[in-house]
Structures are given as C-alpha cells and as structure tokens.
Structure 1
Amino acid sequence: MGEFMSSLKKKNKEDNYLCYIPWKQHQQWELRNGKVFLFFEHDKFVEKFARWLVKKPYISDVELDDLGSQVWSLIDGKCTVFEIGQKLQNLFGTEFDPKYQRLISYLNYLNKKGWILFKRGPQLQGD
C-alpha cells in the first residue's frame, strides 16, 4: 500500500502537492442523507474525567457540510489531490472556485487533525 505520511512536512520541495494521494486515517464515519458524520470515542483517562465532570457523551460526532462530505467521499487512497479537484469541479462548477486553494486548505486541515494521511503519488517529472 506504500508508505503514508502523517504530515506534509516530509514532502520534498520538488514534489507537486496535487500529485499526492490522500488516504482516510479516521475510520469511524458514516454517510447519512448525503452528509458525512465522523465519530469520536472519548475513552482516554482525561476524556473520561471530563465526560464525568461535564456529562459529556462517550461518543461525539462531527457533521461535514456538502463540500466537505464530497471531499471525504472522494478520498479513496487512489485519487490524487488533482483528480479530486477535477471531480469537485464537475460536481459543483463555479461554486468551487478557486478550487485548488480551497481543496488544499481543507485537506491540510483534515491532515492536521489526524483524520487523513498522504501518500506520495507519481510526480509530474516522471518519478
């Protein structure tokens, strides 16, 4: 399956970000009525204490918006960032402009949260 990177800090300066392949690290999610929901278990000691203190539930969820849900659904461990951007452009048209700036910002956010990882895809130079 290749080596996945936890962050893009290991990215080579010559690499093209659009050639990287995002992969879902967070596996607890489901699709409901076209929206993606990510689920999180709060089972660490500090989280258990906080749950007891403020009556927080054991499992919480995050609902992604329409665009975020589409991006999440398109992350399959095979498509590059470029290919995902092309698919989003076909789905959303001009609503998704400027497409790559928004997509890259969102993917960086998902990566920083630890929800996705990246694999170095074939680079344009022929690597």
Structure 2
Amino acid sequence: MEEPNYKELIPVRQCKYEEKDGLVTVSFKKESTKIGKIFFKWIKDRPHRIDLDEIGSFVWGKINGVLNVGEIIDITREHFGEKVEPAEERVVIFMKQMHRTKLIMLYEKVVEKE
C-alpha cells in the first residue's frame, strides 16, 4: 500500500486541549484492552495528557481543518527559521504521531467536479 502524500492532507483536531502561556496540553482517553480492563477495573478512566513543546504547540495552533500539512510546514518554517529544520520531516512526523494516537484525523481535500 502506498503511503499518502502527507503534505496534501488536511489535519483536524479530535481531542480536547488547553493552552497556557503559549504552550498546549492535549488530553485524551486511552482505549483499554480486555485484559487491561480486567486487571485495572478499579482504576477510573482518567484522561492522558501530553504537554507539547513550543514548536508542537505552534503547529497544533495551525491545525484548523483548512490548512494542509504542506501549508503548516511553510508557516512553521517562516516563524521558526533554522530552529525548526528539517521542518518538513519534523512536522510530518508530528502529524503521523498525532494521527496514530487519534488526536487528529487527516483528510484529503475534496475537489468538487463541475
């Protein structure tokens, strides 16, 4: 199966988040396995939290369901310059990780035919 061109995909947030002093914390519930539910039934489903760094928080702020990953890479590169390089690789890896953990969804742009 061919890997998609991530630069053309549009990310959309799928979880709650908080922003404080320019840094973002995302929170989500982790799905338990059947065995995990049996052994840890007394533990309540507490949300997991991930604290994003300055660059991750900036990228998260650009995820709006309109910009594609390529546009977010360009904006991030303009904002951070050399500090973020290699920007394309870093942002794509970030998007893959967020997608794998279901914190974002990645959609192809729908082009309406006339």
Q: TM-score, normalised by structure 2?
A: 0.77
Q: Who is 1:51 aligned against? A: 43
The residue type paired with residue 75 of structure 1 is I
Aligned identity (percent) is 23
Query: Could you tell me which of 18, 30, 40 is aligned with 2:28?
Result: 40
The answer to whether 1:17 aligns with 2:6 is yes
SS in 1 for 2:18: strand
SS in 1 for 2:7: helix
Change (3 A) 1:50 1:73: farther
Q: Who is 2:60 aligned against? A: 72
Aligned mates of 1:38, 1:94 — CA distance in 2 = 26
Aligned mates of 2:95, 2:30 — CA distance in 1 = 24
The answer to whether 1:94 aligns with 2:86 is no
Gaps of 5+ in 2: none
Deviation of the 1:19 alpha carbon = 1.2
Gaps of 5+ in 1: 1-8
After superposing the two structures, state which structure 1 stretch, 110-119 or 40-49, moved more.
40-49
Deviation per residue, 1:87-124 (Å, 9 max, x gap): 1011110111111111111100000001001110269x
How many corresponding residue pairs? 107
The residue type paired with residue 99 of structure 2 is N
Aligned mates of 1:50, 1:63 — CA distance in 2 = 26
